[in-house]
């Protein structure tokens, strides 16, 4: 069992404060002492606000204390009938319960908070609560509902132009996509969020993105990159003195070390994570790290310690009803008992493991059936509502006709309509002119890139013809111009003619590979790779999955030329010895991925460059409505480029 953790960004807010999180331990202790000294002297709303502040502060030190202060604040707010303070108490109590894995209670509190915030009309805090509800559903594995709440929060943040919150919810959406296995898209979401956090100078957000990137690269089997980002996040959290989030980062680094067969380092990181999880009472994380430690002890041959550790993980997971961890703990125990030759206990644990697995499957199937039933009922009701609406619209139309017959100001209205139409037409003409100017500029830029590319191709083919075929023709002419042509000269001439034939084939391949038109993109890429592989020095692997046979020719040519351009640049500048080309046809999009083990570069510098190669790639991408993502850094090996083309574009 290998499980790597991710960071869900939780929002904590109180009345009069905007999502405050105090991550400095000394300042936090001083704040708590000050609040505790002030509390006995206060009454009414001031006392409730202090209780809520204490709930927030203790969330990062002691969740039990946070709940005690939150409950007192909630009861007092309800006695005073203050909705603003009641909703803040509900929200922060929900956060405290979520931190300890009490998801059912957390969800109940956050949903109550959401109803009140809708009534009050505070959009920003409403979005914060939507985000936290999404987190709870995410933790429970209900990804559909989690995405629904995340997207609702995102729409509000974008309307309010709150960049920090947009970055936060982008990260959380990426986490759900990661859980669903869509790792390529996840990298894009994290990089967007990281860019925003960097612009805003939010170090915590950057650290969380680094931690989450480590988790994604683990699932992509890039364990060096997973470890690199996890250690970077550990360093950043330590520098910011953010102890609450260190356990998850330590678990990620430990799992990466384990995959890289560095067991002692893995064990050290797991033990550090366990200690912090016990301090903060993070039950779910504690269960996960205990399962990892049980595997380490089992591999070391300490079966007693392994079985005790796995049993502790099982008890914790059962207590918080974390079914995935219950299943993992039972599977670990089954393996440990098997190695101890305690076959009866191994059988019992494996049987329980299978029961939990089957239960999870049945729950998922029942949920899907319920969703289908709900969808059917909803469509039925929508049909009835639509019919009633049509009847009402018909009645309204008749009333409006009668009213129009009575209105005597038709002339004034017509004049206003005419003026409005003229103004609108003028605006549309202006917008059309601006659009045409933009299109003309874009066409000119594309034309320059294409012309530049064509000129380079012409120079290269002219050189090939002159240096290759020209010399061979001269040699044939010289060999056959003698009065008495010897057989050896004829044989030499035939050899040269065969070489000329091969040269012509190579030139024709560079102009337009026939295999691209006849057999498709996959065969053309494989032939291109085979030609480079024969030259030695660089090895190219090509893989294609579910590629459509009716891919339009313009898409085949564009994707082939982009691959050719990128690979040639990799060979020329990166010093790579291995290149992987992968083309995958998904229902929603076609994805081309090129990875190499050469030295990295600044992706930002490349996107700002004015070279013909980069312009040519962008021009071809624009023609097929594609997008490009580049993962590369100076001073780090391995580069990945991902090109996506929407299915609607591919099938046009």
- Mean pLDDT of the residues in the chain: 79
Confidence at residue 466, expressed as pLDDT on a 0 to 100 scale: 53
Confidence at residue 469, expressed as pLDDT on a 0 to 100 scale: 59
With b for 16 or more beta-carbon neighbours within 10 A and e for fewer, the 47-64 pattern comes to bbbbbbbbbbbbbbbbbe
Confidence at residue 34, expressed as pLDDT on a 0 to 100 scale: 85
The count of other CB atoms within 10 Å of the CB of residue 494 is 11
CATH number (domain holding residue 636): 3.30.565.10
pLDDT(243) > 60: yes
Same domain, 498 and 446: yes
Residue 479 in any domain: the answer is yes
Residue 435 or residue 388, greater confidence: 435
Name the nearest CA neighbour of 589 among 554, 542, 546: 546
pLDDT(592) > 90: yes
Say how far apart CA 191 and CA 207 lie, in whole Å: 12
Residue 506 in any domain: the answer is yes
Provide the edge-to-edge strand list for the sheet that holds 589-599: 539-545, 578-585, 589-599, 637-646, 626-631
Q: Is 348 exposed, middle or buried (CB count within 10 Å of its CB: 0-12, 13-18, 19+)?
A: middle
Secondary element (H or E) of residue 541: strand 539-545
- Is this prediction's pTM over 0.75? no
pLDDT digits 0-9 by tens, 2-31: 445 555 554 443 332 223 233 344 445 557
Q: Is 214 exposed, middle or buried (CB count within 10 Å of its CB: 0-12, 13-18, 19+)?
A: buried
Confidence at residue 17, expressed as pLDDT on a 0 to 100 scale: 28
Residue 286 or residue 504, greater confidence: 286
The count of other CB atoms within 10 Å of the CB of residue 513 is 21
Same domain, 497 and 604: no
Same domain, 641 and 529: yes
pLDDT digits 0-9 by tens, 277-326: 888 888 888 999 999 999 999 998 999 998 999 899 999 989 888 888 89
Q: Which residues lie across from 581 on neighbouring strands?
A: 542, 594
Confidence at residue 323, expressed as pLDDT on a 0 to 100 scale: 85
Same domain, 444 and 482: yes
Residue 215 in any domain: the answer is no
Say how far apart CA 209 and CA 202 lie, in whole Å: 11
Residue 376 in any domain: the answer is yes
Say how far apart CA 168 and CA 205 lie, in whole Å: 7
Residue 157 in any domain: the answer is no
- Measured at the CA of 507, the angle between CA 504 and CA 511, to 5 degrees, comes to 135
- φ, ψ of residue 485 to 5 degrees: the values are -85, 120
Name the nearest CA neighbour of 352 among 377, 332, 322: 332
DSSP for 225-275, please give it: HHHHHHHHHHHHHHHTT-GGGHHHHHHHHHHHHHHTT-HHHHHHHHHHHHH
Residue 473 in any domain: the answer is yes
Confidence at residue 58, expressed as pLDDT on a 0 to 100 scale: 81
Residue 537 in any domain: the answer is yes
Say how far apart CA 449 and CA 571 lie, in whole Å: 22
The count of other CB atoms within 10 Å of the CB of residue 394 is 9
Mean pLDDT across 594-620: 83
- The range of the structural domain enclosing residue 469 comes to 428-511
Give CA 539 to chain center in angstroms: 30
Same domain, 499 and 583: no
Please identify, among 446, 479, 511, the residue that sits at the C-terminal boundary of a domain.
511
Same domain, 487 and 526: no
SS3 629: strand
Mean pLDDT across 470-492: 64
Same domain, 529 and 641: yes
Name the percent of the chain lying above pLDDT 70.
75
As for how many domains the chain has, the answer is 3
Residue 179 in any domain: the answer is no
Confidence of residue 506 (pLDDT cuts 50, 70, 90): low
DSSP for 330-383, please give it: HHHHHHHHHHTT-HHHHHHHHHHHHHHHHHHHHHHHHHHHHHHHHHHHHHHHHH
Please identify, among 400, 419, 446, the residue that sits at the C-terminal boundary of a domain.
400
Q: Is 641 exposed, middle or buried (CB count within 10 Å of its CB: 0-12, 13-18, 19+)?
A: buried
pLDDT digits 0-9 by tens, 329-380: 899 999 998 888 888 988 888 888 888 888 876 765 555 545 545 454 555 5
| Alpha helices, DSSP H, located in 407-552 | 410-464, 471-480, 487-511, 514-518, 521-535
Same domain, 388 and 472: no
Mean pLDDT across 378-405: 61
CATH number (domain holding residue 395): 1.25.40.10
Please identify, among 490, 511, 532, the residue that sits at the C-terminal boundary of a domain.
511
Same domain, 346 and 395: yes
Mean pLDDT across 65-70: 88
């Amino acid at each position: 069992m290998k499980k790597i953790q991710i960071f869900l960004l939780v929002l904590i807010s109180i009345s009069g404060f905007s999502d405050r999180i105090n991550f400095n331990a000394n300042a936090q202790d001083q704040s708590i002492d000050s609040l505790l000294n002030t509390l006995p002297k206060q009454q009414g709303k001031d006392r409730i606000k202090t209780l809520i502040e204490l709930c927030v502060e203790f969330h990062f030190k002691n969740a039990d204390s946070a709940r005690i202060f939150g409950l007192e604040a909630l009861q007092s707010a309800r006695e005073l009938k203050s909705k603003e303070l009641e909703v803040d108490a509900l929200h922060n109590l929900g956060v405290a319960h979520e931190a300890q894995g009490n998801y059912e209670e957390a969800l109940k509190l956050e949903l109550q908070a959401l109803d009140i915030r809708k009534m009050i009309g505070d959009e920003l805090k409403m979005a914060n609560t939507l985000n936290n509800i999404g987190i709870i559903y995410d933790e429970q594995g209900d990804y559909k509902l989690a995405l629904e709440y995340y997207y609702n929060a995102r729409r509000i943040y974008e309307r309010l132009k709150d960049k920090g919150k947009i970055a936060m919810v982008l990260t959380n959406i990426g986490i759900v996509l990661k859980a669903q296995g869509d790792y390529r898209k996840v990298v894009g979401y994290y990089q967007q969020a990281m860019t925003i956090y960097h612009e805003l100078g939010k170090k915590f957000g950057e650290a969380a993105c680094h931690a989450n990137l480590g988790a994604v690269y683990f699932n992509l089997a890039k364990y060096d990159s997973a470890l690199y980002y996890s250690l970077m996040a550990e360093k950043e959290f330590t520098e910011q003195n953010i102890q609450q989030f260190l356990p998850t980062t330590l678990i990620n680094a430990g799992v990466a070390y384990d995959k890289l067969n560095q067991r002692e380092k893995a064990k050290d990181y797991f033990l550090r994570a366990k200690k912090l999880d016990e301090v903060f009472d993070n039950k779910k994380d504690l269960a996960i790290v205990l399962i990892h430690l049980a595997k380490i002890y089992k591999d070391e041959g300490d079966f007693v310690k392994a079985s005790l550790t796995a049993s502790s993980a099982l008890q914790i997971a059962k207590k918080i009803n974390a079914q995935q961890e219950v299943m993992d703990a039972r599977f670990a125990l089954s393996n440990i008992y098997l190695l101890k030759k305690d076959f009866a206990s191994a059988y019992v644990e494996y049987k329980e493991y299978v029961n939990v697995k089957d239960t999870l499957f049945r729950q998922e199937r029942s949920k899907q059936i319920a969703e289908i039933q709900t969808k059917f009922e909803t469509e039925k009701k929508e049909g009835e509502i639509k019919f009633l609406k049509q009847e009402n619209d018909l009645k309204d139309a008749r009333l409006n006709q009668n009213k129009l017959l009575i209105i005597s100001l038709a002339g004034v209205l017509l004049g206003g309509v005419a003026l409005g139409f003229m103004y609108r037409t003028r605006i549309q003409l202006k917008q059309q002119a601006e659009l045409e100017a933009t299109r003309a500029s874009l066409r000119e830029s594309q034309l320059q890139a294409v012309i530049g590319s064509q000129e380079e191709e012409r120079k290269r083919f002219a050189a090939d013809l002159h240096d290759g075929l020209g010399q061979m023709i001269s040699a044939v002419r010289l060999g056959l111009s003698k009065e008495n042509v010897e057989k050896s000269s004829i044989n030499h001439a035939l050899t040269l003619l065969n070489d000329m034939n091969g040269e012509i084939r190579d030139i024709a391949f560079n102009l337009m590979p026939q295999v691209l038109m006849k057999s498709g993109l996959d065969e053309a890429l494989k032939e291109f790779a085979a030609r480079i592989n024969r030259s030695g020095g660089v090895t190219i692997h090509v893989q294609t999955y579910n590629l459509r046979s009716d891919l339009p020719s313009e898409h085949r040519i564009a994707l082939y030329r982009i691959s050719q351009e990128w690979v040639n640049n990799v060979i020329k500048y990166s010093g790579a010895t291995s290149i992987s080309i992968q083309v995958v046809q998904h229902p929603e999009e076609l994805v081309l991925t090129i990875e190499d083990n050469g030295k990295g570069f600044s992706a930002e510098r490349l996107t700002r460059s004015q070279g013909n190669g980069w312009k040519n790639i962008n021009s071809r991408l624009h023609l097929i409505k594609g997008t490009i993502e580049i993962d590369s850094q100076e001073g780090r090996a391995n580069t990945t480029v991902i090109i996506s083309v929407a299915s609607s574009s591919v099938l046009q």
